[in-house]
């Protein structure tokens, strides 16, 4: 089931409380968004343990601006509060399923270690 995000607070709560969160930035007038939205909804049904969300860029422009969304549809994936994927454009169902599987498989220990390494080198 898709969840509509309507505020920054709602998004922050979701991202910090859920293991994996997919966010689809879209707009009513966007034909590619509507096409991707159908694929997104079908895949969301197949992975009930993952939070699949949507942000309408016209209803919540501040969030689109905060994430520097310049083109839609745009998909962002968070795992344990960290962005692990961010890309604009349409995606076939097979590619979205592969992305879900990759998100499930990502080892956050390595990512956190690399982030800490980068932080210390600055």
Residues annotated as part of the active site: 30, 33
CA distances from 59 to 41, 49, 78 (A): 20, 27, 22
What gap in Å lies between CA 112 and CA 92, rounded to an integer?
A: 30
Whose tokens are 């939205």? That residue is 37
Structure tokens at 72: 């839609």
Sheet of 51-56: strand order equals 2-4, 51-56, 20-26, 74-79, 82-88
């Amino acid at each position: 089931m898709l969840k509509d995000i309507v505020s920054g607070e709602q998004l922050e709560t979701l991202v910090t409380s859920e293991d994996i969160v997919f966010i689809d930035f879209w707009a009513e007038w966007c034909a590619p968004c509507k096409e991707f939205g159908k694929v997104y909804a079908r895949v969301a049904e197949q992975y009930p343990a993952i939070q699949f969300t949507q942000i309408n860029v016209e209803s919540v422009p501040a969030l689109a601006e905060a994430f520097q969304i310049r083109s839609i549809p745009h998909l962002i994936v968070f795992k344990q509060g960290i962005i692990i994927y961010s890309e604009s454009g349409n995606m076939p169902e097979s590619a979205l399923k592969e992305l879900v599987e990759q998100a499930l498989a990502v080892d956050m220990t390595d990512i956190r270690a690399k982030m800490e390494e980068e932080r210390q080198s600055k």
